[in-house]
Structures are given as C-alpha cells and as structure tokens.
Amino acid sequence: MKNYNFLFVTIDGGGNTPAMFGFANYLMERGHKTLFLSEPCLEQPVKDLNANFIPFTDYFTKSDRKKDFFQDWNATLFKNPVFERIIFGPSESVINQTINAIQTNYIDVLVVDVLLFPALIAAEFLNIPKLLVFHMPEYMPGPNRPPGNMGLVPGKGILTKFRDRILGNMMISKFNEYRPQLNKIRSNLNLKPLNNTVDLIDMADLRIIQTIRSFDFPIEPAPANVRYTGPILDDPDWVQTEEWVTPWDSSDKRPLIVISFSSTFQNQKDAIQNCIYALKNLPVKGLVTLGLAMEDEHFEISNNVRIIKSVKHSLVFPHADLVITHAGHGTVMRALANGLPLICLPMGRDQNDNALKVKLNGCGIKLSKNSKSEQIGHAIKNILNAPEYKKHAHRMKRDILANQGMDDVIQEIEKMVGDQKEQFV
C-alpha cells in the first residue's frame, strides 16, 4: 500500500475537533502523513497527535481556545453569524492559504471541515481529491427531508412535505447570497461559476458523515458522494485526566447523573445551574463537568453534587446512569455508546436535531434550554423510573459499536488517490 499526504483544513469549533483528529488518527495508523492548516490555538494539540501543523496567518489567528469566536449562541438557521464570520466571510483567505499549503507540501488529498467547506475550491483548482467531513448528521435538505439544525421530523403528509421543500429552498437561497463572492474567487482561478453555492458539497469526491445512518434522517436517494462512517468516540484533546476517582464512597449506590454541556460558549450557565438545582432533592449523585467555556464560572451546588473542570467521558460514563447535556453530537454518541439515556437541552447548531433523534429513538427526553429545575427534575425521575429508556439506549449502543465504517472509507480513498495518480503516469 502506498502512503499519501493529507491536508486537513479546520478550526477549533468544539465538537468538530475530536472528529477531525480521530479521522487523522485513522489515516496515520495506516501509514499516511497528515498536515493541519488551522488556528494557532490548535498547534500543540496537533503536534501531540503526531501530525504536522501550519497556522493560518490571516483571519483565523485565535490563540486562546476559550475565546467565543463563533458568537452564535443566539442564532437562528437563517440569521446566523457563522455564515459571515466562519463559512463565507473569510473564504477567499482560506482558499488562498489552502492552495499555498497544498502546493508547498506536496499534498495528495484535501480534507475539509464542513465549517469551512468553500476550501474545497482549492482542491478543485489543483485537481486533487477532496473530502468534506461532517462531524454531525447530514444538514443539507433533500427530497425527503428539511434542512438540518431545525429539529424537524421529515414530512410525511402533503403539508409537511411542502413545508420541507419551502425550507430547503430558503436554505439554498440563503447560501446563494454568498454565491457572487465565491464565483468571483472561482473566476480568478479559471473555474466554472456555481449555479448554487451548495453545489460545492455535491462536488466533493466524498461527503463523510460521522454518525450512524440509523441515527440520521438520510437524504433519499442518497447523493453519490455520501458515506456514513460511524461516530468518532474519542475524548476531546483538552481533557487531560488519565484517571477518574469517584468522590463518593463505594457503598453509595445512588444513580450517578452527569451534567455535561458544550466546551464552547453557548450562554449555557443558567441551564447548567438549573440542572444542578434539579438534583438537589433527588436521591441521586450529580457530577458536573464544566469544560473550557464554563470552567471559570461559579455555581451553587448541593451536598449531592460535585463540580470538576473536566474529565474524559470514557472514564466517567461507564459509571453513570443518565447524562444531561446540550446534545452536541459527540456527547450524545459517547453517552449512547455506553448505553446511557439522555436529557437534552439543545442550544443551537446541530443540537436540536440530535435531541429530536434521541427522543424519537426512545433514548431520552428533549427539553427547552430555558427549562426550570422542576421540569428537569421531573424528566430525571421519568427516565430513572422507566427502564425502556435504558433499553433503547442499549439498542443504540449496539448499533453504534457495530457501525464503525471508517476503515472501508479509508480504503476507498486510497483506491481513489491511487487511480488518479495512475492516470497521470
């Protein structure tokens, strides 16, 4: 087997980082070389991964991982600062820096984080294979589904199918507001103009979706480039604990509730505090993991609750009975991979979809991020007293552990690159 050079283009967006790092790990285990083009704040984590690193020198120059660069905690699908601040606003700079990194480092394959998908243009310009990575379920609209990130069940009747088609067209129109900007870049590179901005996603050689198909609402018929690989279950790089010792006596058999919200800022302090209040008068133990965004905040706690800055989910989830979370895809998958039911308080991004799918699969309860402690407490009691939630979570555990398709996808990538290289021999 020949070894190839892969360039990963990404930023530190919370849940996307373990997913991209996990993909890179798979490649390196097969002998391939990986290089990351990213923000300076990820330089040491990338080097700890034994990968090579190039910093963005323009725009994405964040050195502090706690900085709220997204500023999307109050976003809606069609009024989202991520469009301008992350995806499209800096696209020309990102594309140019990606082209330079490919040319100067003899890159064979470009791997692009979906948060920066215009960077695919660089690989198109240089005629190398291009992969687009979704670190969460599919969010593009399709004939059988609305756009993702809205927390909607795909329509079955005439009215809801009409709703889905209208919402899909609205999403495409929103993305097309940036089409002139992208087409200007493409013209400068002598590339054909786009009819729709989202055509870039279909033009990727592979659209790698890092979840299991049974958890998603897959587009049907599936686009030719879609591949489901199963989730990356790795812990985030910034969680350094190598062991976890329970603060409770071994004779304490009360259920353990883990409260784990986003590692990036989503204005989650009040939600965390309400979750803590909900545990106060319940016969349970509570462990709150704060993460980077909340580790300097102060919370009121009761005698049955402990707060720590961070702990690896892989260490604590095997001892837990229930997870209360914002429903980020990584946290949801790690909980379900341990057979744990969830209470989800989604705050944006892909979280409304994930929370809905947890609910529809019978693995937990979806609440509003503004839920009061009484509502959260009632949900806790419902789950702990209803064994079917755990039963369904264990079913999902089996599905997750049986659907790790990354090896097959990597072999497909290797064949794709080898076949292209043979064409130019």
HSE on the CB side for 56, CA within 13 Å?
25
**In 3D, which of 125, 212, 127, 138 has the Cα closest to residue 168?**
138
If pLDDT is split at 50, 70 and 90, which confidence band does 37 have?
very high
Residues 132 and 261 in one domain: no
Whole-number pLDDT of residue 375:
97
Residues 416 and 300 in one domain: no
Residues 272 and 346 in one domain: yes
Percent of the chain with pLDDT over 70: 98
Stretch 55-81: mean pLDDT, rounded?
82
Residues 216 and 349 in one domain: no
HSE on the CB side for 384, CA within 13 Å?
20
206-352-324 Cα angle (round to 5): 115
Residues 24 and 156 in one domain: yes
What's the predicted TM-score (pTM) here?
A: 0.94
148 SS3 class: coil
Residues 184 and 221 in one domain: yes
Residues 284 and 407 in one domain: no
Residue at 111 is within a domain: yes
Whole-number pLDDT of residue 77:
61
Percent of the chain with pLDDT over 90: 78
Residue 23 predicted with pLDDT over 80: yes
Q: For the segment 378-388, what is each residue's pLDDT rounded down to a tens digit?
A: 999 999 999 99
Whole-number pLDDT of residue 425:
53
Residue at 236 is within a domain: no
Whole-number pLDDT of residue 65:
86
Residue at 187 is within a domain: yes
Stretch 140-157: mean pLDDT, rounded?
93
Residue 128 predicted with pLDDT over 90: yes
How many structural domains does the chain have? 2
H helices, E strands: number in the chain: 16, 13
Residue at 390 is within a domain: yes
Domain that includes residue 269, residue range: 256-402
Q: For the segment 274-283, what is each residue's pLDDT rounded down to a tens digit?
A: 999 999 989 9
Residue at 142 is within a domain: yes
Q: For the segment 189-230, what is each residue's pLDDT rounded down to a tens digit?
A: 999 999 999 999 999 999 999 999 999 999 999 999 999 999
CATH code for the domain in which residue 393 is found: 3.40.50.2000
Whole-number pLDDT of residue 424:
62
**In 3D, which of 252, 249, 294, 251 has the Cα closest to residue 271?**
294
Residue 324 predicted with pLDDT over 90: yes
If pLDDT is split at 50, 70 and 90, which confidence band does 100 have?
very high
Residues 102 and 128 in one domain: yes
Q: How far apart are CA 4 and CA 33, in angstroms?
A: 6
Cβ–Cβ under 8 Å, residues 334 and 318: no
**In 3D, which of 323, 309, 328, 298 has the Cα closest to residue 239?**
309
Residue at 250 is within a domain: no
Tell me what the pLDDT averaged over the chain comes to. 92
The least confident of 26-35, 308-317, 375-384 is 308-317
**Cβ density class 109-141: b for 16+ within 10 Å, e for less:** bbbbbbbbbbbbbbbbbeebbbbbbbbbbbbbb
Residues 107 and 200 in one domain: yes
Residues 267 and 216 in one domain: no
Residues 377 and 311 in one domain: yes
Whole-number pLDDT of residue 237:
86
Residue at 249 is within a domain: no
Residue at 238 is within a domain: no
Whole-number pLDDT of residue 78:
66
- Any residues with CB less than 8 A from the CB of 23 and at least 6 apart, and which? 8, 111, 133, 208, 210, 232, 406
Residues 352 and 205 in one domain: no
Stretch 256-268: mean pLDDT, rounded?
85
